Structure 1
Amino acid sequence: MSKLGPLPARTDRRAQLSAPRRAVLDLLVERQSLTVAQVAQELGQHPNTVREHLEALDRAGLARRDSLPPAGRGRPASVYSYTPAASFSSPEYAVLARVLVTYLARAFPDGPALRRHAREAGRSWGRAIVERDRGLDGGHQPGRPASTGAGSSGEGTTGGAPGGTPSPRPGNGRTDASRAPGPAPEPAEAARLRRAAVDRLGALLDRAGFEPAAEHDDARSRLRLHRCPVLDLAKDRPEVVCSAHLGMAREILATTGITPGQVSLGAFVEPGACVLQVTSEPAGGGDDAVRVGPA
């Protein structure tokens, strides 16, 4: 394979489903993960009917079944979530994305300013992903220190607030600036936390349709992104789209203490993938750490 960069995101497969089964899948996409009983209650259907739809979606690769942690006696309940193959894409959303990117490029024709604003837009996207994911698991993610919160990447502004005003942390009213930095973890522990953070990011990007594959060594972690939800647009305006993707990834990783200088993105750098890299130490590439094309 000689073409550099990822493949397009998978096409919408809802059209192949019956209306009742499509309603079940759409509910999973909206709510992320649900039990049979929850789907039945939401849709007003019998649990046996819902179970049949969910099992069919599982067989088709559009949903995934996992077991909840045991709670007392009996078999643990199953919970269903949608897979990246179920991600919805439509021509209308593609047109909207192109219009927004074109407007941004016209509003900020200067290269560095344009990329900076694109990264800030990506950070807002990352914060939304973090908040949604935190709400799904009761407020804490694996590999994330309990005291950290979204919006702490430190790139451009603090906590995403305009003008550099620190954002208060949820639940305690304190700001990032009011917290004294804790002791740095030992190298082995820092590597473990980095790997857990990158694996968590990979799970979120997988849900968004990027089809990532992670690899780790002592000095760095890499996520190879084999698909892109807006591939044609990324090819036309990588300085906007890829910068936004970098900002989003940095914001998600910032919730585990990884700094922007540790995170860079190589867009269209190898056959079949873009590469997001997270190093143990800041790489010194600055905020604008998107490289387009092979070195």
Structure 2
Amino acid sequence: MATKPSKTDRALASVTRMAVLDALRRANEPMTVQQIAEELGLHPNTIRFHLGRLAQADLVREDQADPTGPGRPRMVYTAAPATKGAEQETAYRLLAEILASYLAETSPSPAAVATAAGQEWGRYLVERPAPFAKMTREEAIDRVLAMLAQLGFEPELDGGRLLLRACPFRAVADRRPDVTCSVHLGLMRGALAEMGAPVEIVNLQPFSAPHPCVANLSESDASHAEAGPART
């Protein structure tokens, strides 16, 4: 089964939440929702939603501003100081960056190697069907969506496409998209192959903010799809 991402990973998987947190870290004093919204060019309600998710992950602190007149005091927000958990998250990201950069610089085909590695993990992470069971397109996609959701991708089915609205490896993907996105492509392809699914991933179009990554689906002949070797 897929390892569930930490609350910090889930919070930082969103491009918008990363932008909100960066704005608070740059600020010299606490910011209001309106100030953040104006700086990022977003609606205040959008900012409130993402601040709530950041606060749940202990990445942002919410306080009441000093009263300036009648009425309810305004709420202001600051970036929380780094914690030991955050330091560990940084260490894991550094490790991922080291491995991705090493692969990119030393392999003649880093994307192909990364895709192959992702396929092996996709086979391992997905829930495999029972022996001789025929997997429908809908069942296979549901299982891939569940796997991706556990990993923090916030996936959504949109007709013949899978939309990945968040990236739990965004910090590395920004610098090494050839490796990181290829791993993600391999995860989905490996999972579908393991299930002998009558559908396959044609390609993965990497993110271009504010748009999500898009994995394009295509029907495949299930009779030619071979499940992976039996697990022991």
Could you tell me the TM-score, scaled by structure 2's length?
0.53
* Deviation readout 1:86-145 (Å, 9 max, x if unpaired): xx981111011001001111221x3xx211111111122213313xx4xxxxxxx5xx46
The structure with more helix, counted as a fraction of residues: 2
- Equivalent in 222, 225, 230 of residue 161 of structure 2: 222
Q: Alignment RMSD, CA only?
A: 3.1
**Contact residue 205 and residue 212 of structure 1 kept, 8 A:** yes
Once residues 105 and 259 of structure 1 are traced to their aligned partners in structure 2, the CA distance between those partners, rounded to angstroms, is 32
**Contact residue 156 and residue 163 of structure 2 kept, 8 A:** yes
Counterpart of 1:196 in structure 2 is 139
Offset at residue 251 of structure 1 (A): 0.4
Note closer, same or farther for the CA distance 1:270–1:247 as it changes in structure 2 (3 Å cut): same
- Equivalent in 174, 194, 209 of residue 255 of structure 1: 194
Note closer, same or farther for the CA distance 1:255–1:90 as it changes in structure 2 (3 Å cut): same
Provide the aligned length of Structure 1 versus Structure 2: 142
Note closer, same or farther for the CA distance 1:238–1:11 as it changes in structure 2 (3 Å cut): closer
Q: How do 1:14-163 residues align onto structure 2 when only pairs under 5 Å count?
A: 90-108=89-107, 110=108, 113-130=109-126, 133=127, 141=128, 144=129, 146-147=131-132
Once residues 262 and 91 of structure 1 are traced to their aligned partners in structure 2, the CA distance between those partners, rounded to angstroms, is 31
* Deviation readout 1:22-80 (Å, 9 max, x if unpaired): xxxxxxxxxxxxxxxxxxxxxxxxxxxxxxxxxxxxxx89xxxxxxxxxxxxxxxxxxx
Note closer, same or farther for the CA distance 1:270–1:99 as it changes in structure 2 (3 Å cut): closer
For structure 1, the residue ranges without an aligned partner over 5 or more in a row are: 1-7, 13-59, 62-87, 134-140, 149-184, 186-191, 283-295
For structure 2, the residue ranges without an aligned partner over 5 or more in a row are: 1-8, 14-55, 58-85, 222-232
The amino acid that maps onto 2:148 is L
Once residues 194 and 249 of structure 1 are traced to their aligned partners in structure 2, the CA distance between those partners, rounded to angstroms, is 14
